[in-house]
């Protein structure tokens, strides 16, 4: 089996929780090293990793062919551009960049140099979202006319990450959780015709947006995406209404909580939800109303890296193309323009 020698650009929560475990267990990857400027935290989990003390040192390593750009959003453009300039493939954390123009430039560089460029949208492989996808594709609720996706938290106190809490490119909730919700909507329904958004700052000490409500307008569908840092008791995170029925599901994918506890994603029951977290499916069939609990699909973030492997080694489709992430960035920019003008913004 051909090996993809891989390096991470950081070993914070993103590297430790969402990337390293899945790269480490995949037989097609070799996780060679991590860029850590002064610390050596990666050795607590992977003692044999090489620690690069500078980006230049990492990029000069000819063995490394794939670099995971999992640093703060405001660094993505600069670091990814350097990775591509070094002739290496790149996986970039969400949000892809801070502007559409930056995202488009990176795509162009990758295409011109025949390099793989993908954006890590792991929430496509959440158990709850995969279950919503299965229900819609199953057809029991009929053609979808309305959907509402939430990604809510209760964090009234400010966090300690300046790149999220202090004003600047890439800061705020819209750039943090917005890409997850927007990508999920795009994956299911495609690019909308127009966007309307309300973006607010609710926490008293906050200097950045910590609430948003975005409506995506399609020909006949409406999709509402909401996120807030002041939701003590969340409602269902996925509400989908079709012409023949509805599906209601809370956000309950177990993977992140397990990974935070350093549970390796190796057992056969990985990503399985508890039965009490299953969603409610209600639909009409032969004139009767059917109400049933819908078993959840297992989540698996490792499927993203399996798709990356298949793309790099066997030429299979890129699991999250730069072009898809560019549309996400277009919607984020349209949302900010809508909030500023209090009007509906058409997408081109």
CA distance 49 to 51: 6
pLDDT of residue 162: 86
Question: 195: how many CB neighbours lie within 10 A of its CB?
Answer: 25
The first and second tokens of residue 322, run together, are 């730069």
Local structure of 41: helix, strand or coil: helix
Region of poorest pLDDT, from 5-14, 17-26, 110-119, 153-162? 153-162
pLDDT of residue 129: 98
pLDDT of residue 334: 98
pLDDT > 80? residue 224: yes
The first and second tokens of residue 62, run together, are 């000819």
Local structure of 285: helix, strand or coil: strand
pLDDT of residue 12: 94
pLDDT of residue 87: 98
What are the φ/ψ torsions at residue 250 (nearest 5 degrees)? -85, 160
Q: Write out the DSSP string of 123-184.
A: GGG-HHHHHHHHHHHHTTT-SEEEEEEE---B--S--S-HHHHSSSTT-SHHHHTHHHHHHH
Q: Give per-residue pLDDT as tens, 288-321.
A: 999 999 999 999 999 999 999 999 999 999 999 9
Q: Average model confidence (pLDDT) for the chain?
A: 97
pLDDT of residue 308: 98
pLDDT of residue 152: 96
Q: Give per-residue pLDDT as tens, 246-257.
A: 999 999 999 999
pLDDT of residue 274: 96
Every domain of the chain and the residues it spans: 4-120, 124-299+330-346
Q: Give per-residue pLDDT as tens, 154-184.
A: 999 998 888 899 999 999 999 999 999 999 9
CB 140 within 8 A of CB 245: yes
Give the residue-averaged pLDDT of 202-225. Answer: 96
Distances (CA, A) of 218 to 145, 192, 198: 9, 5, 18
pLDDT of residue 346: 98
Beta-bridge mates of residue 245:
283
pLDDT of residue 161: 86
pLDDT of residue 143: 97
Burial of 244 per CB tally in 10 Å (0-12, 13-18, 19+)? middle
Distance in angstroms between the alpha carbons of the first and the last residue of the chain: 43
Give me the residue label for tokens 């990814």.
Answer: 80
CATH architecture entry for 124-299+330-346 = 2-Layer Sandwich (3.30)
Give me the percent of the chain exceeding a pLDDT of 70: 100
pLDDT > 80? residue 108: yes
| Adjacency order of strands within the sheet including 66-69 | 50-52, 29-35, 4-8, 66-69, 89-93, 117-120
pLDDT > 80? residue 1: no
The first and second tokens of residue 246, run together, are 């509805």
Closest CA to 238 of 313, 181, 199, 309: 181
Q: Give per-residue pLDDT as tens, 265-278.
A: 999 999 999 999 99
pLDDT of residue 277: 97
Distances (CA, A) of 130 to 105, 272, 301, 309: 31, 11, 11, 21
Local structure of 239: helix, strand or coil: strand
pLDDT of residue 160: 87
CA distance 50 to 34: 7
Class of domain 4-120: alpha beta
Beta-bridge mates of residue 230:
154
**Orientation of helix 100-112 relative to helix 322-341, angle to 10°:** 170
Cα-based angle 249, 318, 264 (whole degrees, multiple of 5): 60
Q: Give per-residue pLDDT as tens, 54-103.
A: 999 999 999 999 999 999 999 999 999 999 999 999 999 999 999 999 99
pLDDT > 90? residue 189: yes
């Amino acid at each position: 089996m051909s090996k993809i020698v891989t390096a991470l650009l950081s070993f914070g929560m993103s590297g430790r929780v969402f990337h390293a475990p899945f790269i480490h267990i995949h037989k097609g990857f070799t996780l060679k090293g991590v860029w850590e400027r002064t610390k050596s935290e990666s050795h607590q989990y992977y003692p044999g990793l090489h620690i690069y003390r500078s980006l230049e040192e990492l990029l000069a390593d000819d063995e490394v062919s794939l670099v995971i750009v999992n640093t703060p959003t405001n660094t993505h453009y600069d670091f990814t551009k350097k990775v591509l300039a070094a002739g290496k493939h790149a996986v970039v954390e969400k949000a892809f960049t801070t502007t559409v123009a930056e995202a488009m430039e990176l795509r162009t560089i990758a295409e011109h140099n025949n390099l793989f460029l993908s954006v890590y949208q792991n929430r496509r492989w959440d158990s709850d979202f995969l279950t919503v996808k299965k229900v819609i594709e199953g057809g029991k609720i009929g053609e979808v006319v309305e959907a509402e996706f939430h990604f809510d938290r209760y964090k009234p106190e400010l966090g300690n990450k300046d790149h999220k809490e202090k004003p600047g490119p890439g800061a705020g909730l819209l750039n943090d959780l917005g890409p997850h919700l927007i990508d999920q909507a795009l994956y299911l329904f495609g690019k909308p015709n127009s966007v309307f958004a309300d973006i607010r700052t609710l926490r008293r000490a906050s200097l950045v947006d910590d609430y948003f409500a975005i409506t995506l307008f399609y020909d006949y569908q409406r999709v509402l995406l909401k996120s807030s840092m002041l939701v003590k008791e969340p409602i269902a995170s996925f509400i989908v209404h079709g012409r023949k029925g509805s599906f209601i599901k809370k956000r309950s994918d177990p993977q992140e909580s397990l990974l935070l506890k350093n549970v390796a994603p190796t057992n056969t029951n990985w990503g399985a939800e508890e039965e009490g977290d299953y969603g409610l499916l209600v639909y009409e069939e032969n004139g009767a109303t059917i109400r049933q609990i819908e078993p959840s699909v297992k989540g698996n973030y490792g499927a993203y890296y399996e798709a990356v492997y298949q793309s790099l080694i066997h030429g299979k489709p890129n699991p999250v193309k730069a072009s898809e992430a560019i549309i996400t960035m277009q919607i984020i920019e349209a949302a900010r323009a809508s909030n500023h003008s209090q009007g509906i913004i058409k997408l081109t």
